[in-house]
């Protein structure tokens, strides 16, 4: 987006839209549909797909207005953050017609079926199989660390479609219906006490060929695009609200029937009784910047210096996110900015992890409703390690930057051009061992 006058026009239009349409008696679904038709919910999306084709500065303007108005934001989640952009970039006209409205209007939520027990950082070695059967594909295998699978309508599935092609060239990328007999979802309990992740088993699950993104074997390109949007954060979504989150335990279609007044009231209650320290923000109520101002806080010079380090790191991370989102919105693909953003977020999270207990002392280690801030500081400490793992480990991001930015030699990959069937990894190794024993 261009100059101040254009932003002023956008601001005026958004104010008029909120004045006319925001009504606590509306259902969430009706509100999201009005927001999608206006193009204000996803302003960086193309105009033909419920956006405005604007830059990231529009997100800041609109987000501020929505917060000031107390309005629920656009539907969020993995589908909106990653699935929509992938379908726009790699999908065909039919797929865009069928899926993008459902995402923009919040009619569906999606999850991500990528990681496997034997294929995490080396995602290209995924062993879940998809075999063509007429107009459908039959899927067998296992995925793990799947967020929101229990409430998702569809999933972005990476599966192997060609055992004789090298691992990067034998993958398919599907949009699969989650509610079907062949998909078994089992929650995984984390050390925080939460169960946000799941392991998922596919046993003759089915997905239509019409929901294969791109051609068979081209799934890696769509997967890379997905990961770029994941690392750069929640790109292109305006507003905030608990209604965006899949951990409410409700399916999106059920949540859409609730009145806005009820959701706003519940959002306020959650903020009061259950603060979220996992994403404390630069100066939010659970940020080190705010905690150090509380009565009895440890304000020694070393702690004060670390708070400044956190603030600077968080600001740098915010700027890196803007750069990564701008690159993605401009169609530049997966650039180094997304890896830099991921690493910066990990650094800020580790600083925040240590500062909470340092500022509050022993009270920062307490959990439960009676603890300071409802135990959110201790929860944040336990949650912190996941940041350096999710979305591609920090080590993977260092490799990407070393190779693509610094020009360092690639790590040896002796398996890159070998047919996947010949690789001795995971279940393929077990299959080969079984044949040898016969």
CATH number for position 179: 2.40.110.10
Q: At 130, which helix (H) or strand (E)?
A: strand 129-133
Pair (219, 133) in one structural domain: yes
pLDDT at 247: 38
Whether 136 is a known active-site residue: answer: no
CA distance 125 to 360: 44
| 297 shares its domain with 391 | yes
153 and 224 housed in the same domain: yes
Nearest 5 degrees, angle CA 168-CA 172-CA 176?
145
Report strand pairing: 171-177 vs 183-188: unpaired
Structural domain total, the chain = 3
Residue 176 has a pLDDT of: 98
Residues 180 and 192 in one domain: yes
User: Does one domain contain both 285 and 359?
Assistant: yes
Question: Burial level of 4, CB count in 10 A (0-12/13-18/19+)?
Answer: exposed
Domain match, 134 and 207 both: yes
Residue 64 falls within a domain, yes or no?
yes
Assess whether 151 and 240 both reside in one domain.
no
**Residue 417 is assigned to a structural domain of this protein:** no
Cβ atoms of residues 425 and 432 within 8 Å: no
pLDDT at 337: 74
pLDDT of 133: 98
What contacts 336, CB < 8 A, 6 or more positions away? Answer: 400, 401, 404, 405
pLDDT for the residue numbered 22: 95
Q: Check residue 268 and give its pLDDT.
A: 61
Q: Catalytic one among 199, 230, 436, 437?
A: 230
pLDDT, residue 128, reads 97
Residue 416 lies in a domain: no
Give me the pLDDT at residue 325, please.
Answer: 66
Which are the contacts of 260, defined by CB distance < 8 A and separation ≥ 6? Answer: 22, 23, 24, 25, 26, 27, 28, 31, 72
Assign 433 to helix, strand or coil.
helix
CATH code for the domain of 320 = 1.20.140.10
| Pair (121, 226) in one structural domain | yes
Q: What local confidence, expressed as pLDDT, does residue 233 receive?
A: 56
* Domain range for 379: 275-404
Same domain, 309 and 398: yes
The per-residue pLDDT for 284 is 62
294 with 381, same domain? yes
pTM of the prediction?
0.80
Residue 87 lies in a domain: no
Same structural domain, 290 and 356? yes
Low-confidence ranges of the chain (pLDDT < 50): 1-2, 234-236, 240-248, 271-279, 427-430, 432-438
pLDDT at 329: 59
Q: Are 311 and 335 in contact (CB under 8 A)?
A: no
């Amino acid at each position: 987006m261009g100059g101040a006058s254009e932003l002023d026009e956008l601001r005026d239009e958004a104010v008029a839209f909120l004045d006319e349409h925001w009504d606590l008696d509306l259902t969430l679904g009706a509100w999201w549909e009005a927001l999608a038709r206006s193009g204000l919910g996803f302003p960086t999306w193309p105009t033909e797909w419920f956006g405005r084709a604007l830059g990231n500065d529009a997100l800041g303007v609109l987000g501020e207005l929505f917060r000031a108005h107390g309005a629920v934001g656009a539907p969020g989640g993995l589908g909106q953050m990653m699935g929509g952009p992938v379908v726009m970039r790699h999908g065909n006209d039919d797929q865009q017609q069928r899926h993008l409205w459902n995402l923009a209007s919040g009619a569906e939520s999606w999850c991500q079926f990528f990681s496997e027990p034997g294929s995490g950082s080396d995602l290209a070695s995924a062993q879940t199989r998809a075999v063509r059967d007429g107009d459908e594909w039959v899927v067998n295998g296992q995925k793990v660390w799947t967020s929101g699978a229990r409430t998702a309508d569809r999933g972005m599935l990476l599966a192997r479609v060609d055992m004789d092609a090298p691992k990067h060239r034998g993958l398919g990328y599907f949009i699969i219906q989650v509610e079907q007999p062949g998909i078994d979802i089992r929650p995984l309990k984390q050390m925080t006490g939460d169960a946000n992740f799941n392991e998922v088993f596919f046993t003759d699950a089915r997905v239509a060929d019409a929901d294969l993104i791109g051609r068979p074997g081209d799934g890696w390109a769509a997967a890379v695009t997905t990961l770029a949007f994941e690392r750069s954060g929640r790109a292109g979504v305006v507003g905030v609200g608990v209604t965006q989150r899949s951990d409410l335990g409700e399916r999106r279609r059920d949540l859409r029937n609730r009145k806005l007044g009820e959701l706003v009231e519940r959002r306020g209650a959650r903020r009061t009784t259950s603060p979220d320290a996992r994403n404390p923000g630069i100066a939010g109520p659970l940020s080190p910047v705010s905690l150090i101002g509380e009565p009895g806080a440890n304000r020694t010079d070393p702690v004060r210096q670390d708070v400044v380090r956190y603030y600077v790191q968080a600001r740098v991370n915010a700027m890196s996110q803007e750069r990564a989102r701008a690159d993605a919105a401009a169609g530049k693909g997966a650039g180094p900015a997304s890896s830099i953003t991921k690493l910066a977020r990990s650094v800020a999270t580790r600083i925040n992890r240590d500062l909470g207990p340092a500022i509050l002392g022993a009270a920062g280690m307490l959990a439960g409703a009676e603890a300071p801030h409802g135990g959110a500081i201790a929860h944040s400490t336990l949650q912190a390690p996941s940041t350096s793992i999710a979305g591609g480990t920090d080590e993977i991001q260092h490799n990407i930057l070393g190779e693509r930015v610094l020009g360092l030699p690639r790590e040896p990959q002796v398996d890159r051009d070998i047919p996947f069937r010949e690789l001795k990894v995971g279940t393929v190794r077990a299959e080969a061992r079984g044949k040898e024993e016969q």
